[in-house]
Structure 1
Amino acid sequence: MSVLVVMIRPSTFVMNLETPFRNPYWRAALFNPVRTLQARYWDDKPQQIKTFSFTPQNAFVLNMDRDYKRLQQFRSKNPEIIQRVAAHEWITLDKKNSSYNQTLENATIWQQHYWELRYPWIQVASRIGKVGDAACSLSHVSLWKEKLLDAGQDYLFVFEDDAILTESLTRNHIIQAPDNADIVLLTEGATKRVAIPFQSATVTRVIGGYGTLGYLITRQGALKMLDFLQRSREPVDLSFFEASVVKVYLPTSWPLVHHSGIQSSRIDINRKPTT
């Protein structure tokens, strides 16, 4: 009797095993099977591809006053039509000590208590010392309320000040994406994706990722996110994908925003003591 012995090189085995984990579509199916099925088969499908226009009235960059050099860099590489909005710097919400003098801009103690009670993710971030990250997320929330909901807009383009827009976006001033999108992710942080059949092609739904470097958010998307953030323990960028009711898509041309690599002063803010 002959015996067939097959030798498999360990490196080959590991490489073949890692391949599905590197593929964002495989990652979605392996780690989020229910969400994948929901996105592909159960959720409402888009009816058409919609054109979203990029204008001075609906494009904003978040920038802290202390990061004026980052704003200069942003302006040198991106269209002037993008309006600057002052980002919150940092907050402390530690009731065990007298650190309330370290405030979010001119926030009162009452306002800080309000934010802590309203948003669990602020509590989490503050307790682990990520006060800069908490303020960053709150900056996005404030922008949605003021410039989208209160201003009566249908959607906003939101950028952080280390974003570099591609020539396609700066030249054409439009993106195209599914008409039922709540959020359109413009950056490269889409780590888990689902291909959604659409007419004779497919569109890409994102159910896992990171980063708020550049995105479009609709009025309906902002309302859904504001509701979800009252229960979420994750910051805004991760909550985009935690909320199953929020439909996050990629545009038909992607990515449209890259990272400049300039470090934010929030890194140092996160290291500040809260006492």
Structure 2
Amino acid sequence: MGKLSTGVARITMVGGAMLLLGTGCASTEQSAGSPASVAEPEVVLCQGNKVPLQALDNPKPATELAPEAAPALQGRGVSAFDPVTWLVAQESSDRVMLMTKLAVPQDGGQGDIRDYMYIVISTHSMASEPGKPVWDVVESSTCTPTLDLGQLTAGAVTLDPSLPPASESDRLALLVTEFDCNSGQDAEGRVEVVKLTETESTVEVVLGVRPSGAQAASCQGNPATPFTVKLERPLGDRTILNAAVLPAREIAVPAAR
């Protein structure tokens, strides 16, 4: 594990990243290697769907869909969502994805907090027949925009309540919950530090989870995996942020269920 660099602010990469992807050691404690600059992402993920960041920064309402995509608003099941004022996340002649920001974020526990609801309307649906495409809602859920980590996936992150952060410590004890199906098993040995940025006021961390490689897995939900991040210097009074989500969100103790 390399010696940490010094400075007021640093950006480091270990493992996969949204534009640069490498392999790093997997352990329950990781720090950072050589500094590297990272460009602002052009695309973020919403439940695996690629969404241009521009679509969120400068939203276009569904009423402005291109003529070939506009019929999606009259598709089967669309009226249940009333998405006329939703923003356009994707559009083509056979697929439209619309998103709307929730008035109150959806807290699924274990750090899984979602800011948007979305629907995907497609002509590649069960209702379509050869030569007779039918626009239909084929996907609907909630999400929070996350960085594209390449071969890694972002998980839900909280502080470990059994090891609360101490101002004099240079260790952060976190709990990482993998979203991908893993038969109810944790992600021990597969969590990596993708990016770590320390400033005078914040500690921003991006964690990624490597796929398990299992041939098949059930999807009953996974337990949290303890993971420790080593800082360049003691935490002090700095705010700890999960920078895998956009905008970055403060990492907190998991809400009581």
What TM-score, normalized to structure 2?
A: 0.28
Select the structure with the greater relative contact order (CA < 8 A; seq sep ≥ 6).
Answer: 1
Greater share of residues in strand = 2
Greater share of residues in helix = 1
Structure having the higher Rg: 1
What TM-score, normalized to structure 1?
A: 0.26
